[in-house]
Amino acid sequence: MNGDRERYHHHHDLRHFLFHDELSPLFSQKPAVDVGVANAGDDMHGGFNPEAAALPLLGFNELLQSSMMDYGLLGKGLEVTADSGSSLNTHSGGGGGVLTTVLTPNSSISPSLAEAAGAEGDADQQQKEQQAAEGDEIVLGDKSKTANMIKAKKKGEKRKMEPRYAFMTKSDVENLEDGYRWRKYGQKAVKNSPYPRNYYRCTTQKCLVKKRVERSYEDPKIVVTTYEGKHTHQIPATTIRGRTQVLLSPPPLPAPTSIYHEFMMQQVPHPHIPSSRSSSSQQHIMIPNTMINLPPPLHYYFHDHYD
DNA sequence: CGTGTTTGACCCGCGC
DNA sequence: GCGCGGGTCAAACACG
């Protein structure tokens, strides 16, 4: 909405959202959370996932490529009530202690998560979309969209999970500009939350990356952005309506005090305020799947600090 | 006119 | 089988 966009330009009330260096061990060490990750990736057996186990030893790019985060878990994390956050201190106290959390066994992770770790997820979805586009077998007399939708999901194939990674961003702005061009294709109300979830798709042809953006209902200033899939292209030279942006040199974020910031800058699209000079109003934290699995809601963790 | 958003309808999976 | 929640589609609309 244009009005919103206008409004966004005036909101940069993000004074001091701290990066937590105490969380650094999440990225730099190989913690016990591997167990949880393994379970997450192989939930049907609770078996060991060597790929997940290797995560801490890989670069963060590899992490992004190979790790998966189930959005359901994310949602679960967000739905956890504040009282569960009481265990927070226990987790945050000992650095790696955070990582001892084990994924709940009944989490809604797709059985094919492990496969999604590779490129197969993309290929699969591409194939499905292509099938849908062909539309050579429309049976139903309904609207074509219905037929396509059915076609796309025929064979009873379960949706394969794309590699996912998420950010929690303390921001008044939901529409974080990350250098890519997104088209909104849906919006849904989030259960138990007054804030809707927005669905975006990369507008670049053949690129099937999607992202979901929603606010934490507990802390409306926390925006959770979940990316799904991998871009098959470079960051476009132009983003918003012809506005050319220097995408390879994002505006500096304030006080890059932790490795999170470095990760963000190096490995993922660089979110910044849309077409604004007030680039200092947002800070982002990447949430590895390991953190998403924490019992205490992540945003609650942040909640303790930013005010 | 091209591009992006809105929004109601629709589908699917899952739990009861 | 039914209802619910999540995810997606696409026509209509808005905007530069």
Q: Are A214 and A206 in contact (CB under 8 A)?
A: no
CA of A134 to C1' of C12 (A): 25
A144 touches strand B (CB under 7 A): no
Is the minimum distance from the CB of A145 to strand C below 7 Å? yes
Strand B: which bases are under 7 Å from protein Cβ?
A: 3-13
Closest-lying nucleotide for A146 based on CA to C1': B10
Whole-model pTM over 0.85: no
| pLDDT confidence of residue A188 | 92
Under-70 pLDDT residues of chain A: 1-162, 175-176, 236-307
Q: How far is CA A201 from CA A20, A39, A59, A182, in A?
A: 31, 29, 27, 5
- What are the C-alpha distances in Å from A19 to residues A11, A228, A251, A304? 20, 24, 17, 12
Q: For strand B, is any atom closer than 7 Å to the CB of A45?
A: no
Report which residue is nearest nucleotide C10 when distances run from CA to C1': A145
How confident is the model at residue A135, as a pLDDT?
Answer: 34
Q: What pLDDT sits at residue A162?
A: 62
Å: A187 CA to B11 C1': 16
d(Cα A69, Cα A64) in Å, to the nearest integer? 10
- CB-count exposure of residue A246 (10 Å: 0-12, 13-18, 19+): exposed
- Asked if A90 CB < 7 A from strand B, the reply is no
- Residues of A (228-247) placing their beta carbon closer than 7 angstroms to any atom of strand B are 241
- What is the sign of the dihedral through the CA atoms of A190, A303, A184 and A125? negative
